[in-house]
Structure 1
Amino acid sequence: MKRLKILFLTRDRSQQMEKSSFYLAEEMKKQCDLMLWTEDGHISKILAQIPHKPDFIFLNDFLDPKLCPRILGLNEISIPKGMIFHDISYQIQRRKNYINKEKIDFIFAHYRDAFMKWYPELAHRFIWLPHHVNTEIYRDFQLPKSINWLMMGAILRHIYPLRVIMLNTMKDQPGFVYHPHPGYNVVQKVNQGSLVGDEYAKEINRSKMFLTCNSIYEYTLMKYFEVLGCNTLLLAPATKETEDLGIIDGVHFVAVNRLNFMEKAQYYLTHETERIAIAQTGYEMVRTYHSSEARVRQLLSNITKLLSLRN
């Protein structure tokens, strides 16, 4: 099979705290002929400057200038185009307008069920691109499990109400640790003492259990994959989407809600054998099916199929 030639229009994310786009691009370099473009410009001028005519143009969203450069003229070219939608709850109508105006052929989004709810008229253009983990960062460091329960990240009542309840309930429990979100910024500017990159992954690996939620939107958030990738027992809500991703309650993680999270947190603290077995199964599953390497294979397979249907 010939290697795809893909033009990825994205800002340089290598120094950002949140690096999923960077990890995706680094893996794409291994599996296809990837051309990166990070500056604002007109697509016709960009195409004239790159070494090959791309089979596919891939945009890293369009709303956030930290994610994607401002590209003009996309509606003037016939090369198939796809775009990642990151925060699909943000400016929904503006997103719909942009897709139609710029004639974007396909939309890649992390959250299937929410996308179908908010963008039903674009369902025929949707390709599911769930989150993934760089297994060189998110791995089992085999650190002593010195933390009973860990929470990390934003605590916003209007977005993460279950996290607020979890934190307020667990904060006085011996062995519970909470770290606030470091902020979406370049690594050099995150709050002093914040855990990012390897240190973030190591802190997860030190914990026996990690409590989190999937927000009011019921997203299968990146934390699901990060925690599983560090061989720590995940306690979080379950949905049909998590199940369809192969993340199964009682096998790979433990499903919880506002009524039972405390009971299950205490149960798995004292039932070590069960806790270790579920965490290990989840760890192996995420490394097999949800690594950045596996996700890029799926992405390129999908793009290949899309291109074959157009020919």
Structure 2
Amino acid sequence: MAGATEKKGIVKQSRPSLLHQVRSASDKGAREGHERGYGEGYFRGRAQALVHTLTEHAPQRQLRIIYVSSGKGFPYSPLDEAVVSTMQAMAIDVRVSGPKDSIAVSAVEYRADLVLVLDGMDFPAEQLIELKALAIRTALWITDDPYYTDRMSAVAPHYDYIFTLESTAIEYYQSLGCRQVHHLPFAAFPEHFTPRASPAPFQYDFSFIGSAYWNRVRFFEPIMDRLMKYNTHVSGLWWDRLPQYKKHKSSIKLDLWMGPKETAEFYNSSKIVINMHRDYDDSTVNQNSQQIRATSPNPRTFEINGCGALQLTDARSDLASFYVPGVELVTYETPIDLLEKAVYYLTHEEERREIALRGLARTLKDHSYVKRLQQLLGIIFDRQTE
């Protein structure tokens, strides 16, 4: 019998030599490494193909626009960059100003068709009154609804058009006398959030980037020890609130507020990116005395999918208007649900990649700043106002 030794009627199976075991393990590792490398390379190639075929370029309008930034710097400055860069390709001229600049005088000299203000918390109402007297259209794109609606109540009625990223805030602004109020979320800016063309130089199983609001601390606490058994990265403000912080601080970058490109690098370097919305009724940070509920997805929803990462997010009621749960991203309801789904997709590579690619394709088609600004300009210049 091959591979066996017979002695006194007893047949013994010879054990593979140590060299044979090493070679077998090496061959297996090489095969698995090749499969992983091939799968990751194929995934990156398909993601790049989607970027090249689905990225949209809008036609230019004969418009002169004054854009008024938030004036707050980071983290609002990346939003300014996304809007200005996109709008410059959509209008014949775009002039950028700050909220403390004298806009009314320059708007007349510039022959502005529109003054578009981002955030608007520091843009004086007196300037809006002057612009209205000059019959120059004004629009406000609000960045933080419904969390700081109290601060917007005094200035919002002076604008001709209000655009809010939270659908439930529409009725609130209408109650203040605003006639033109529209839901317009943010999007994924491809200069910031896009898939890497090659595999990332470092790799995480799971990542979460965002501040440790109390609802997030309470949610993560019961599963953090099990989540941290994997290669998990967490970064953001206040994570020392977490009871297990000291135990896991080597995997938590405390009080780090990353820029968009660094954030995108982590998204691209993570198999699964967790998203969790903040609470609308957190009195420790919010200024939302009307207790307007938050039902629309946050900007991070679009940015994660824009990187071609598998997103695991809590489900807000508006989410299905933007992505198909289970098809273009994955939703969870409880801490255990999050953990079980994270582990499942970690071990089901093909399913993970297919959902991520579908989420990327949907983002490129429907959730770009080109799409958002086409909608905004279409509402202002193409519709008959009341």
TMscore range, shorter length: 0.7 to 0.9
**Aligned-pair CA distance for 1:5:** 2.1
Equivalent pair of 1:155/1:164 in contact (CA under 8 Å): no
Instruction: Give a deviation string over 1:241-296, Cα, whole Å, max 9, x none.
Output: 11112x11011100111141111111111111111100011011112211222222
TM-score by length of 2: 0.67
- The corresponding residue for 2:89 is 30
The reply on whether 1:98 has 2:98 as its aligned counterpart is no
The reply on whether 1:177 has 2:236 as its aligned counterpart is no
- The corresponding residue for 1:85 is 142
**Aligned-pair CA distance for 1:210:** 0.7
- The corresponding residue for 2:175 is 121
Distance 1:165 1:117 in 2: 36
- Which runs of 5 or more residues in structure 2 are unaligned? 1-59, 239-253, 280-293
**Aligned-pair CA distance for 1:222:** 1.4
- Quickly say closer, same or farther: Cα 1:94–1:224, change in 2 above 3 A: closer
- Quickly say closer, same or farther: Cα 1:140–1:162, change in 2 above 3 A: farther
**Aligned-pair CA distance for 1:89:** 3.0
Distance 1:39 1:240 in 2: 34
RMSD, aligned α-carbons: 2.8
Specify the SS of the correspondent of 1:4. strand
- The corresponding residue for 2:113 is 55
- The corresponding residue for 1:110 is 165
- The corresponding residue for 1:185 is none
Equivalent pair of 1:156/1:164 in contact (CA under 8 Å): no
After TM superposition, the runs of 4+ consecutive aligned structure 1 residues lying more than 6 A away are none
Match for residue 16 of structure 1 among 55, 74, 79? 74
**Aligned-pair CA distance for 1:297:** 2.1
Distance 1:157 1:215 in 2: 8
- Quickly say closer, same or farther: Cα 1:201–1:57, change in 2 above 3 A: same
Identity across aligned pairs (percent)? 20
- The corresponding residue for 2:18 is none
Specify the SS of the correspondent of 1:131. coil
Equivalent pair of 1:211/1:234 in contact (CA under 8 Å): yes
**Aligned-pair CA distance for 1:90:** 4.4
Match for residue 279 of structure 1 among 348, 353, 356? 356
**Aligned-pair CA distance for 1:163:** 5.2
- The corresponding residue for 1:187 is none
Q: Which has the larger radius of gyration?
A: 2
- The corresponding residue for 1:224 is 301
- Quickly say closer, same or farther: Cα 1:276–1:39, change in 2 above 3 A: closer
Query: Structure 1 residues 259-268 or 214-223, which shifts more?
Result: 214-223
Equivalent pair of 1:253/1:282 in contact (CA under 8 Å): yes
- The corresponding residue for 1:5 is 64
Instruction: Give a deviation string over 1:74-113, Cα, whole Å, max 9, x none.
Output: 224222211121222345344223223xx3121111121x
**Aligned-pair CA distance for 1:177:** 1.5
The reply on whether 1:214 has 2:290 as its aligned counterpart is no
| Paired letter, 2:88 | K
Specify the SS of the correspondent of 2:116. strand
- Quickly say closer, same or farther: Cα 1:24–1:79, change in 2 above 3 A: same
Equivalent pair of 1:152/1:178 in contact (CA under 8 Å): yes
- Which runs of 5 or more residues in structure 1 are unaligned? 183-190
Query: Structure 1 residues 236-245 or 277-286, which shifts more?
Result: 236-245
Specify the SS of the correspondent of 1:240. coil
Q: How many residues align?
A: 289
Distance 1:255 1:75 in 2: 45
The reply on whether 1:168 has 2:231 as its aligned counterpart is no
- Quickly say closer, same or farther: Cα 1:171–1:270, change in 2 above 3 A: closer
- The corresponding residue for 1:260 is 337
Equivalent pair of 1:150/1:177 in contact (CA under 8 Å): yes
**Aligned-pair CA distance for 1:47:** 2.5
Match for residue 153 of structure 1 among 189, 210, 219? 210
TM-score by length of 1: 0.82
The reply on whether 1:293 has 2:352 as its aligned counterpart is no
Distance 1:198 1:41 in 2: 29
- The corresponding residue for 2:266 is 203
